Amino acid sequence: MFVILSLFLFYKTNPKIDGVLAEQREVIENHMKGYVFHSKLNVSNLKDLVLEEGGQPVRNLIVTTWRSGSTFMGDILLSHPGTYYHYEPLLDFGIKQIRHGEEAAQAVRNLRHLLDCDYSEMEHYLRYGPSHPWLFSHNKFLWGRCKTSSDLCWKPEFLSPFCSLFPFQSLKTVRLRLNLTEELLEDKKLGVRLLYLVRDPRGTLQSRRHREWCPGKKDCDDPETLCEDLIRDYITATVFRRKFPESFRAVRYEDISFNVFNETKELLDFFRLDFHPDIQKFLQTHTGRNKGGVSSTFRDSKAAPVHWQKDLAWEEVQRIQGVCEKALRLWGYELAEGEEHLRSFRPVGRLEFF
Ligand SMILES: *[C@@H]1O[C@H](CO)[C@@H](O)[C@H](O)[C@H]1NC(C)=O
Ligand SMILES: *[C@@H]1O[C@H](CO)[C@@H](O)[C@H](O)[C@H]1NC(C)=O
Ligand SMILES: *[C@@H]1O[C@H](CO)[C@@H](O)[C@H](O)[C@H]1NC(C)=O
């Protein structure tokens, strides 16, 4: 608390920061004109959701792993007005999964700081940023400011008050395993909604092969390691579904992609967000035909998630299935039985929780 207060005092005395904040406040107010608040939010006024006004923002988390459709989901959230997007805040942990121990404690602590717009004690994260700008570049409002005022960009005395202007705080992480999020779900004051996004490991692994940072990293390119995580996450998901029926949901990337419009509507409702015209426009322009490169979300949304069926060699599919059978079955995916079957079958079956 003391830290936040002293930050406020500091930025109050910095006219450049004051100017940027005033401008941004106005931009947000304009974007939010006529916005219909979700009935579950029980708010009538924007101020109720704004930290700098003493309100509590709407906090939504996506938890997943690399190449599981989260770029697409993140872009959907980003199309919603008034959104501050914490894009993979655990980037500075490297190409690894965070499962337990001191590292897990540190990771959850960092997420809490960011969800509270408290950039104090985030030195490692902020030092990592300037040489890895994608830490911020997906956060479109922040990045716009960074481009025009690069001297402010990585400074807590700017970031904390800037973040505190936004009524919607969205965050996605691809490094944190699901069981570590329990204390965030339990925190009534944070009031998070958490979406666990899962994808067929055959599709995930196929997609990861195209990333130069992945090969040689066990947490990234080893099928057995990935599928062990998917099994543990499944067990956690069955517990969370009962324990947090309002605030936790697990969904498969393929199910969203096969029925983008309706599924997105449903997920936004879960997140207590409006199916805003900007999001509908985003969906219309991004889910039609293939355009753009490998990391583009301009794609045929029905074909993209099962493209691995055509791209992977049968031997590779066999190798993955050999260690992933249990994970595949739990998450409702079908096994390919031979090369011919692989090229024509429907890999996505029914997902049943118990
Ligand atoms: C909604 O807000 C009003 C006024 O702040 C409060 O009295 C009421 O208990 C809230 N309702 C719920 C369901 O939280
Ligand atoms: C989460 O799961 C890991 C195994 O992946 C385990 O070592 C760790 O203790 C668990 N942590 C919590 C908080 O449940
Ligand atoms: C989407 O939802 C609408 C309205 O609820 C329904 O009529 C339509 O059949 C749904 N489409 C699909 C593909 O599920």
Ligand 2 atom 1, closest CA: 179
Average pLDDT over residues 232-238: 98
Higher-confidence residue of 337 and 210: namely 337
Distance of CA 308 to the CA centre of its chain: 23
Q: Cβ < 6 Å from ligand 2: which residues? A: 99-100, 177, 179-180, 232
Higher-confidence residue of 54 and 293: namely 54
Higher-confidence residue of 44 and 81: namely 81
Average pLDDT over residues 159-183: 97
* 154 pLDDT above the threshold of 90: yes
Residue with tokens 């029980």: 42
Give the C-alpha separation, 272 to 289, whole Å.
30
Residues above pLDDT 70, as percent of the chain: 93
* 201 pLDDT above the threshold of 90: yes
Please report the pLDDT score of residue 4 as a whole number.
Answer: 58
Burial letters for 175-187: b for 16+ Cβ neighbours within 10 Å, e otherwise? bbbbbbbbebbee
Instruction: Read off the tokens for 124.
Output: 């490692």
| Farthest-apart Cα atoms in the chain, separation | 69
Please report the pLDDT score of residue 141 as a whole number.
Answer: 93
262 Cβ closer than 6 Å to some ligand 3 atom? yes
Residues above pLDDT 90, as percent of the chain: 79
* 300 pLDDT above the threshold of 80: no
CB 167: neighbour CB atoms within 10 A? 26
Give the C-alpha separation, 105 to 9, whole Å.
30
Provide the pLDDT confidence category of residue 290 given band limits of 50, 70 and 90: very low
Higher-confidence residue of 282 and 234: namely 234
* 93 pLDDT above the threshold of 60: yes
User: Which alpha helices (DSSP H) does 32-181 contain, by range?
Assistant: 70-78, 101-115, 123-128, 134-137, 140-148, 156-163
* 73 pLDDT above the threshold of 80: yes
Mutate to test the pocket of ligand 3, among 256, 257, 258, 262 (most ligand atoms within 8 A of CB): 262
Distance of CA 220 to the CA centre of its chain: 18
* 262 pLDDT above the threshold of 90: yes
Q: Identify the structural domains of the chain with CATH numbers, from first to last.
A: 2-344 (3.40.50)
Please report the pLDDT score of residue 352 as a whole number.
Answer: 86
Ligand 3 atom 2, closest CA: 262
Helices (H) and strands (E) in the chain — how many of each?
Answer: 18, 5
Mutate to test the pocket of ligand 2, among 175, 179, 234 (most ligand atoms within 8 A of CB): 179
* 3 pLDDT above the threshold of 80: no
* 317 pLDDT above the threshold of 60: yes
- Strand segments, DSSP code E, in 199-260 are 248-252
Provide the pLDDT confidence category of residue 140 given band limits of 50, 70 and 90: very high
Average pLDDT over residues 279-293: 71
Supply the DSSP string of 1-32, one letter for each residue: -HHHHHHHHHHHT-HHHHHHHHHHHHHHHHHT
Provide the pLDDT confidence category of residue 301 given band limits of 50, 70 and 90: confident
DSSP state of 246: T
Please report the pLDDT score of residue 108 as a whole number.
Answer: 98
* 298 pLDDT above the threshold of 90: no
* 268 pLDDT above the threshold of 70: yes
CA of 26 to the centre of ligand 2 (A): 44
* 42 pLDDT above the threshold of 90: no
Atom of ligand 2 nearest to the CA of 229: 5
Distance of CA 33 to the CA centre of its chain: 26
Q: Which amino acid is at 54?
A: G
Closest CA to 154 of 188, 125, 192, 190: 125
Closest CA to 206 of 67, 346, 345: 67
* 343 pLDDT above the threshold of 80: yes
Ligand 2 atom 7, closest CA: 100
Atom of ligand 3 nearest to the CA of 259: 13
Contacting residues for 140 by C-beta, under 8 A, at least 6 apart: 78, 85
* 295 pLDDT above the threshold of 60: no
| Angle at CA of residue 65, ends 61 and 103, nearest 5° | 80
Supply the DSSP string of 153-175, one letter for each residue: TT-HHHHHHHHTT-SEEEEEESS
Contacting residues for 96 by C-beta, under 8 A, at least 6 apart: 175, 217, 219
CA of 263 to the centre of ligand 3 (A): 9
Average pLDDT over residues 114-121: 97
Mutate to test the pocket of ligand 2, among 109, 175, 180, 240 (most ligand atoms within 8 A of CB): 180
DSSP state of 290: -
